[in-house]
């Protein structure tokens, strides 16, 4: 069994900005995000050959429990005109429900949970899986899910599907100089401006990596910091870094709530088997005719059939 979990929003945003809006339906409506998403998925299915496939949805991209912990979480993305604005572009928003209809007609399961991000849906389904899991995303936050047994690999598509990176714990360790399963703790220390996470002021990538490598986890680092509160010393940590950690203790106490991907959502078990044939052929024909999706849908169906044929 090989489960592929798609970070759907990450993929359709990338498709939207990577495929020209000149790709339109017969009535002139842009369908670049839809066609790009379907083509990306077809390529992934053809190359990775999953037995199961789920598109995971962002039903709340700024959940209340994370904002309560750190009010700056993604706050800058609310600003009109911000380059990091989470507002869906005007010509992308109408494409999302069409894409979901197409996926349903093909028979590709979608999963989401009100009050949580797609990351949490992915984390929960990956944690439950019995066999190999591959997570498709352009989001580094999901690097924390990488593990060896049972295997979870991150298919990182920041540079495109054609140039995807396959990351397990060893690759994460080599990329950042940290224990391969400690990405969340590393990210909490160094911060992430794209998510509005301040990090510890004055602690950058190298210092964060050195601290996590020395102590193994943020929890053990903070325990050692507390244990040495009276002596003001901390093994292997300079006085200036020690002072920065103590000054940021309030942030470090709540950062894990924001940074760590949830693995315990009450999700129903999805019917995730890769479809061998369309679930609703009539609806799929209507959608393809109306939106001009024949070629992209055809490539995805062909990729799915090829996986089933190869499996016998």
Map residue 311 onto helix, strand or coil. Answer: helix
Residue 234, pLDDT score: 72
Looking at the domain assignment, is residue 108 inside a domain?
Answer: yes
The answer as to whether 310 is a domain residue is no
Shared domain for 160 and 214, answered yes or no, is no
Task: Answer yes or no: do 197 and 69 share one domain.
Answer: no
**Reading across the β-sheet that carries 2-7, which strands appear in turn?**
109-111, 52-56, 2-7, 132-137, 152-156, 165-167
Q: How far apart are CA 119 and CA 77, in angstroms?
A: 18
Residue 86 lies in a domain: yes
Mean pLDDT computed over 87-112: 94
Percentage with pLDDT > 70 across the chain: 95
Domain that holds residue 19: 2-177+268-303
Q: Are the beta carbons of 217 and 208 closer than 8 angstroms?
A: no
Tell whether 272 and 249 lie within a shared domain. Answer: no
Same domain, 23 and 134: yes
According to DSSP, residue 61 is labeled: S
Residue 71 in any domain: the answer is yes
Quick one: what percent of the chain has pLDDT higher than 90? 85
In the predicted model, what is the mean pLDDT of residues 145-167?
96
pLDDT at 231 over 80: no
What pLDDT does 219 receive?
Answer: 94
Instruction: List the CATH number of the domain containing 234.
Output: 1.10.150.20
In this structure, are strands 2-7 and 52-56 parallel, antiparallel, or unpaired? parallel
Distance of CA 93 to the CA centre of its chain: 20
Same domain, 159 and 187: no
Residue 21 domain flag: yes
Q: What is the CATH number of the domain that holds 95?
A: 3.40.50.1010
In a domain? residue 312: no
Are 210 and 279 part of one and the same domain? no
Per DSSP, 75 falls in state G
The residue to which tokens 């066609």 are assigned = 35
The C-alpha atoms of residue 34 and residue 296 are separated, in whole angstroms, by: 9
N-terminal to C-terminal alpha carbon distance within the chain? 14
Q: Which helix (H) or strand (E) holds 253?
A: helix 249-259
Q: What is the DSSP letter of 198?
A: -
Question: Does one domain contain both 110 and 136?
Answer: yes
Q: What's the pLDDT score for residue 74? A: 86
Q: Are residues 252 and 277 in the same domain?
A: no
Average pLDDT, the chain: 93
Asked if residue 171 and residue 120 are part of one domain, the reply reads yes
Question: Does residue 122 lie in a domain region?
Answer: yes
| Spatial contact of 156 and 148, defined as CB atoms under 8 Å apart | no
Task: State pLDDT tens for residues 29-83.
Answer: 999 999 999 999 999 999 999 999 999 999 998 999 999 999 989 886 665 554 4
Q: What is the DSSP track for 117-157?
A: -HHHHHHHHHHH-SSEEEEEES-GGGGGG-BTTTTEEEEE-
How many structural domains comprise the chain?
2
Q: Is residue 209 part of a domain?
A: yes
The answer to whether the beta carbons of residues 111 and 57 sit under 8 Å apart is yes
In the predicted model, is pLDDT for residue 296 greater than 70? yes
Q: pLDDT value at position 185?
A: 97
Confidence class for position 162, pLDDT limits 50, 70, 90: very high
pLDDT confidence of residue 84? 43
Nearest 5°: phi and psi at 168?
-115, -170
Does one domain contain both 250 and 272? no
42 and 163 co-located in one domain: yes
pLDDT digits (tens, 9 = 90+) for 177-201: 999 999 999 999 999 988 889 999 9
Are 189 and 207 contained in the same domain? Answer: yes
Rounded Cα–Cα distance for residues 11 and 105 (Å):
19
C-alpha to C-alpha distance for 181 and 116, rounded to whole angstroms:
22
Q: Apex CA 224: angle with CA 245 and CA 247, to 5°? A: 15
């Amino acid at each position: 069994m090989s489960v592929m979990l798609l970070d759907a929003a990450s993929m359709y945003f990338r498709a939207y900005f990577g495929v020209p809006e000149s790709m339109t339906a017969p009535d002139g409506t842009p369908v670049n995000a839809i066609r790009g998403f379907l083509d990306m998925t077809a390529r992934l299915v053809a190359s990775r050959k999953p037995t199961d496939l789920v598109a995971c949805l962002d039903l709340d991209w700024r959940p209340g429990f994370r904002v309560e912990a750190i009010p700056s979480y993604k706050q800058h993305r609310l600003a009109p005109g911000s380059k990091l604005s989470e507002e869906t572009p005007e010509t992308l928003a109408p494409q999302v429900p069409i894409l979901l209809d197409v996926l349903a007609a093909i028979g590709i399961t979608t999963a989401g949970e009100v009050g949580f991000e797609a990351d949490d849906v992915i984390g929960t389904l990956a944690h439950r899986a019995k066999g190999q899991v591959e997570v498709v995303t352009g989001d580094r936050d999901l690097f924390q899910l990488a593990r060896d047994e049972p295997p979870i690999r991150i298919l990182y598509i920041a540079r495109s599907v054609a140039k995807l990176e396959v990351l397990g714990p060893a690759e994460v360790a080599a990329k950042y100089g940290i224990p391969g399963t400690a990405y969340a703790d590393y990210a909490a220390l160094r911060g992430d401006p794209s998510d509005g996470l301040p990090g510890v002021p004055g602690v950058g990538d190298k210092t964060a990596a050195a601290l996590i490598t020395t102590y193994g986890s943020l929890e053990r680092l903070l325990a050692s910091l507390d244990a040495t509160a009276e002596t003001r010393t901390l093994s292997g940590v300079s006085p200036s870094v020690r002072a920065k950690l103590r000054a940021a203790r309030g942030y470090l106490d709540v950062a894990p709530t924001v940074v760590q991907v949830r693995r315990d959502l009450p999700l129903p078990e999805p019917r995730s088997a890769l479809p061998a044939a369309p679930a609703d052929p009539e609806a799929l024909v209507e959608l393809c005719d109306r939106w001009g999706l024949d070629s992209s849908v055809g490539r995805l169906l062909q990729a799915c059939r090829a996986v089933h044929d190869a499996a016998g």
